[in-house]
């Protein structure tokens, strides 16, 4: 904090850093805000982490948690070092954007830094596009060295295998969605629907699992194998509401999640969900992933 304040001669207006356990972000932010309360702080988060939604809603949403590759930022818990009062805004960055920016920093700026540094720069620049004005001065912390990532981010084969280079061999959730050519409409049930009606919908559309919605939010799901077991055990449930028999929601994944990440999450017969650039919800099943592997 003092180093940044002194080196910018107190002219810093914005401070950005990755948020993991929270020490670098919040300790530095606290000092800077003590010098000038108007300093704006931007925390860089990753998809699969709980920070951004918790900051914006106060809700710890376990549905936000899923596997990601970027190291050093994001958490599936709320570390005590993360003082959300010290962080004005959060920006989420995908694994791919982080990795690509990390390599750009080495190639274009001569900065041989680690993966989370690419996250910090990409997130800060994305936020700056709409929020910084002439005369503002942003400092971005790059705390990690590139030697830890010689076999990952700085390895072309590793990058290709994860779909992070343009000549990628691995598809992503985005690619799966693009193959649907905009004609896709997700099949879902409402929480207040009857089980009988939901079964009829699943039979009519030949799907084995559907999300359950309430006020345009996903609140659960139905899968045919679990539903069948419940009804065999208690036939009267066919006249119950979907809310009484639904399972926990399918997990949401990032749009640029690669097939290896998707396949690790599609387990126990449950699909995953993803929001496209227009915030439309899509479902991705094991069949979709297997099909993508064969293209």
End-to-end CA distance of the chain: 51
DSSP string, 161-225: HTT-STT-SS-BHHHHHHTTTT------EETTSBHHHHHHHHHHHT-SEEEEEETTEEEEEEEHH
Kindly state the helix (H) or strand (E) to which residue 93 belongs, with its residue range: strand 89-93
Q: Under CATH, to which class is 175-293 assigned?
A: alpha beta
Distance between CA 86 and CA 118 in Å, rounded? Answer: 22
Span 2-169 CATH architecture: 3-Layer(aba) Sandwich (3.40)
Judge if pTM exceeds 0.85.
Answer: no
For the four alpha carbons of 123, 125, 131 and 135, in that order, the dihedral sign comes to positive
Three-state SS sequence of 40-89: EEEEEEECCCCHHHHHHHCCCCHHHCCCCCCCCCCCCCCCCCCCHHHCCE
Q: Identify the pLDDT of residue 168.
A: 45
Domain spans of the chain? 2-169, 175-293
Place of tokens 């639904």: 246
Mapped onto helix, strand or coil, the DSSP state of residue 284 is strand
pLDDT digits (tens), the chain, 295 positions: 999 999 999 999 999 999 998 998 999 999 999 999 999 999 999 888 888 988 888 888 888 887 888 888 888 888 889 999 999 999 999 899 999 999 999 999 999 999 999 999 999 999 999 999 999 999 999 998 999 999 999 998 888 888 787 544 457 888 888 888 766 788 999 999 999 999 999 999 999 999 999 988 899 999 998 899 999 999 999 999 999 999 998 988 888 888 877 887 886 568 999 988 888 899 999 888 888 876 6
The tokens for 279 are 């915030």
The tokens for 41 are 């702080």
What secondary structure letter does DSSP report for 264?
Answer: H
What secondary structure letter does DSSP report for 239?
Answer: G
């Amino acid at each position: 904090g003092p180093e940044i304040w002194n080196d910018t001669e107190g002219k810093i207006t914005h401070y950005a850093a990755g948020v993991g356990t929270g020490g670098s972000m919040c300790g530095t932010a606290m000092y800077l805000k003590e010098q000038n309360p108007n300093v704006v702080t931007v925390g860089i988060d990753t998809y699969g982490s709980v920070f951004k939604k918790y900051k914006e809603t106060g809700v710890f949403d376990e549905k936000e948690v899923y596997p990601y590759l970027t190291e050093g930022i994001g958490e599936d818990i709320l570390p005590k070092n993360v003082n959300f009062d010290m962080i004005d805004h959060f920006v989420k960055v995908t694994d791919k954007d982080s990795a690509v920016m990390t390599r750009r920093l080495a190639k274009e700026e001569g900065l041989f830094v680690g993966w989370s540094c690419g996250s910090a720069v990409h997130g800060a620049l994305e936020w700056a596009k709409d929020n910084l004005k002439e005369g503002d001065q942003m400092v971005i912390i790059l705390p990690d060295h590139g030697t830890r990532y010689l076999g990952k981010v700085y390895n072309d084969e590793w990058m290709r295998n994860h779909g992070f280079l343009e000549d990628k061999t691995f598809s992503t959730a985005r690619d799966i969605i693009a193959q649907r050519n905009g004609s896709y409409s997700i099949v879902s049930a409402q929480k207040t629907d009857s089980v009988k009606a939901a079964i009829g919908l699943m039979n009519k559309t030949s799907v084995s699992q559907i999300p359950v919605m309430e006020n345009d939010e996903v609140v659960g799901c139905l899968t045919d194998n679990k539903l069948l077991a419940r009804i065999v055990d208690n036939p009267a449930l066919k006249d119950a509401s979907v809310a009484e028999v639904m399972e926990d929601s399918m997990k949401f994944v990032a749009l640029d999640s690669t097939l290896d990440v998707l396949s690790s999450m599609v387990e126990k017969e449950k699909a995953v969900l993803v929001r496209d650039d227009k915030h439309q919800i899509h479902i991705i099943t094991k069949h979709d992933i297997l099909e993508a592997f064969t293209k």
